[in-house]
Amino acid sequence: MTVDLGPWLAAVPPASAETIASARRPLIASHENPDADTLGAALGIAWIVEAHGGRADLVCNDPIPPLYDFLAGMDRFRTDPDPAASYDLLVVCDCGSLERVGAIADRHAELFGRLPLLIVDHHRSTTETGQASWVDPDAAATCELVALLAGRLGVPFDAADGALAAALMAGIVMDTATFAHPNATPRTLAVSAALVAAGAPLSDISRRLYRSKPDAQLRLFGRVLDRLDTAADGRIIHSCLTDADLAVTGTSGPHSEGLIDLLAQSETAEIAVLFKETTPESTRISVRTKDGGVDATRLTSAFGGGGHARAAGATVAAPLDEARLRVLAEAERLLDGGAAG
């Protein structure tokens, strides 16, 4: 069985398709603190390039979370570019600025600055674009866009022994919460159907990403949920994750994946915020908002972040307690001002 994506392929910008197909030695970068969408999209573009005779290197500033070990190709990511490679293109996946790539962009500023830049992204807050970039905020995931790129360029979804379909499906599953979020559109479902028809193990991917957690991670969730708090008469729900939580439970940063979505399940809160202690002087925030309410990017942009209307994030240059006061004050201000989105 095959699924015809023909009606959707016209959305692919010709310049993006031509640039990727003609690249001989691209460097493909994910964002820091990687998730399934940035990793799957990067792998997908690498396999598209290689189907057209090129050779791609993939880089990620941070270690790949063990959560994604089940996906083929994760061992291809390196922390720095190959110093001997003659790269001809920089592709940045699932983020709209080089800042989100992390310290790797600073370590290799000369290389990142001189390479032609192509961004493939679905964040409305994207600030940087190369000439051939494709940024589509209506896409549920960057992997949705990469699937359409593959279709436009004639690369079968069962390429790489089926790994292409699985990687792209993982990104879509992650960014839609297995199609539970309102960002899943008819195009998202058509692309997903085509990936499943090509062999993507949807149920297994969904189970691994959303319904299977190590005991240590469950203990971490318990600690964070135990200190759940509210503000603005219950319209804001929030909690925090500290370095001590990770140490006591024997977990690491990636194990916090999914916590913010639990907070967002509150029946009454319009804004959910998870505060994560990253350094003594900086705090990462993850934000979720209800349909028809505050645009999450309005909150995170006040602290230099971005994302989507219902899911966004930022790094606040302040210790956790100070960051919490500042962010909650801004969230209340937005609620009082009726900043809907």
**Range in 96-105, 133-142, 310-319 the model is least confident about:** 96-105
pLDDT of residue 127 exceeding 70: no
Average the pLDDT over 255-280 and give the result: 94
For the chain, domains (ranges, CATH) are 6-210 (3.90.1640.10), 215-337 (3.10.310.30)
Give pLDDT tens digits for 229-265.
999 999 999 999 999 999 999 999 889 988 999 999 9
Percent of the chain residues past pLDDT 90, beyond the cut:
85
Neighbouring CB atoms inside 10 A of 160's CB total: 20
Given pLDDT bands bounded at 50, 70 and 90, which one contains residue 340?
very low
Name residues whose C-beta falls within 8 Å of residue 257's C-beta, 6 or more positions apart in sequence: 35, 65, 67
SS3 21: helix
Give pLDDT tens digits for 55-99.
999 999 999 998 999 999 999 999 999 999 999 999 999 998 888
SS3 193: helix
pLDDT of residue 323 exceeding 50: yes
Interatomic CA distance for residues 65 and 336, integer angstroms:
38
Interatomic CA distance for residues 261 and 155, integer angstroms:
34
Name residues whose C-beta falls within 8 Å of residue 47's C-beta, 6 or more positions apart in sequence: 73, 150, 155, 159, 160, 163, 164
| HSE (side-chain half, CA atoms, 13 Å) at 78 | 9
β pairing state of 89-93 and 311-316: unpaired
Average the pLDDT over 275-300 and give the result: 94
Average the pLDDT over 106-112 and give the result: 96
Q: Which two tokens stand for residue 260?
A: 């913010």
pLDDT of residue 24 exceeding 70: yes
Interatomic CA distance for residues 245 and 195, integer angstroms:
38
Residue indicated by tokens 């690498």: 46
SS3 93: strand
β pairing state of 311-316 and 271-279: unpaired
Neighbouring CB atoms inside 10 A of 214's CB total: 14
| 50-59, 120-129, 291-300, 304-313, range with greatest mean pLDDT | 50-59
Give pLDDT tens digits for 166-185.
999 999 999 999 998 889 99
pLDDT of residue 341 exceeding 70: no
